[in-house]
Amino acid sequence: MKILVIGSGGREHALAWKAAQGDTVDRVYVAPGNAGTATETGLRNVAIDSMDFAGLAEFVESEGIALTIVGPEAPLVAGIVDYFSERGLRCFGPRKGAAQLEGSKAFTKDFLARHGIPTGAYANFTELEPALAYLRGQGAPIVVKADGLAAGKGVIVAETLAQAEAAVTDMLSGNAFGDAGCRVVIEEFLAGEEASFIVMVDGKNVLPMATSQDHKRVGDGDTG
């Protein structure tokens, strides 16, 4: 069988590398891929942008690809799985509705609160002055998050009120993260180690995967 992996990062390199080890897999394409996937045995880069749904679907149809695996968040949030499914193409990933959980932090926090799923105290803001007033009422440390996709860089753990105010101001002014920061989530700081427990679901079945730990701070000494 042939597989297409959509994306250009290390995540997609790992997915494609592992998929190529399958006994029934003849070829793995990566669109658009990167320098690493270009030199990997069994992989072939394809110069199609991850947001070019029509181009990707046409490639899948012309090459007889049995399964498409989507790595990046942006095409998932934009509805690539829905698009492929409507054309009768098998595509692994959440549909647009479920992908909102990744695409909007405000949506996710509201979803958790609405369904009684434990989460830190929070508030959503689109205007600067109410956001600053909320910050001053909460104090620091506190967490400031750009609502939309920001390539994993849209969260600021502010150790001081000044840092929090600067982060909110930059986001809501459009200077930081563009449209992704037009709404911010201000969240309670929770101390402790973070762990991820990921499962795959299809609406009926739940398949647990291994636990993992994501070290998210961008700077040295756990800063950023």
* 176: confidence class by pLDDT, cuts 50, 70, 90: low
pLDDT of 118 strictly over 90 = yes
Q: Name 16's Cβ contacts closer than 8 Å, sequence gap at least 6.
A: 3, 5, 28, 30, 33, 37, 40, 43
Q: Which of 80, 61, 59, 54 is nearest to 69 (CA)?
A: 80
Please give the Cα distance from 222 to 224 (Å, whole number).
Answer: 7
Tell me the average pLDDT across 89-106.
Answer: 94
What's the confidence (pLDDT) of residue 28? Answer: 98
User: Domains in the chain, please, with CATH?
Assistant: 2-100 (3.40.50.20), 104-188 (3.30.1490.20)
Tell me the average pLDDT across 36-52.
Answer: 96
Q: Which of 55, 6, 14 is nearest to 32 (CA)?
A: 6
Tell me the average pLDDT across 103-129.
Answer: 95
Tell me the average pLDDT across 13-28.
Answer: 96
Q: Which of 76, 81, 80 is nearest to 103 (CA)?
A: 76
Please give the Cα distance from 108 to 101 (Å, whole number).
Answer: 5
* 193: confidence class by pLDDT, cuts 50, 70, 90: confident
